[in-house]
Amino acid sequence: MKTAIITGASSGLGREFVRQIQAQFPDIGCYWLIARRTDRLQALAEQLPGISVKTISLDLTSGAAFTELEALLGQEQPQVSLLINCAGCGILGDFIEGKLDEQLRMVDLNIRALTAVTRLVLPYIAQGGRIINISSIASFVPNARMSVYSASKAYVSFLSRGLYEELKPRGITVTAVCPGPMATEFLSVGRISGNSKTFDRLPYCDPVKVVRGALRASKARRAVYTPRGFYKFYRVLSGLVPHAILVHAAKT
């Protein structure tokens, strides 16, 4: 049975991806939902009639999680058609004042976990399969006061673009999704709401539309998807104007 694996599935974009996969990929009959909060995963699974759901409670900042996932993959031998790396976090604040454990958590979740999950799942993705990696508009230009986060998302975008070319012979597509701010718990958990004039001024993206567009972009085998004309223009601008000029405007 064709399988989709979604990390960060218990909230925000991850949960929305789970809800919309069937509309774009009705041939996928099994979902593996990965997140820390088991109760949320089980509640989400109950909303998916007709889908075989495996809820997997893992803390992807722990190396033990990768050992457990590797063993599960080896045991189940899933036929993966779609991998969605949605787990991630971001904290607002000056680097020198930030807590080290929070900064390292961003690195562990946004970079290390995404890399590990992709590498572990890739042998089980058949020709024609797809990978969606959630990046950000923060990957376009370094963001002061979110320096670690923007650097981690630059990694996600660069890795996705490299793998897009590398996996072409296997018929596997990698799509980097680069949305702007959205009204999800990401903003409150990252202490962003009410603490950034930049975020307050930016046009917000609708999570439902972002996920719909991302799935369509993946289906069309596009390498990058950026919602809203404003952010598409910003992506183009970031490739034309030196970052030394844009970095001040991008300060959060």
Task: From the candidates 149, 155, 225, 234, give the one annotated as an active-site residue.
Answer: 149
Reading the block at residue 13, the tokens are 């974009």
Helices 38-45 & 12-24, crossing angle to 10 degrees? 20
Helices 63-76 & 114-121, crossing angle to 10 degrees? 20
231 classed as catalytic: no
User: Angle at Cα 22 formed by Cα 153 and Cα 208, nearest 5°?
Assistant: 50
Residues 153 and 135 sit within 8 Å (Cβ to Cβ) = yes
With b meaning 16 or more CB within 10 Å and e meaning fewer, what string describes 185-223? ebbeebebbeebebbeebeebebeebbbbbbebbeeebe
Return the active site residues: 149
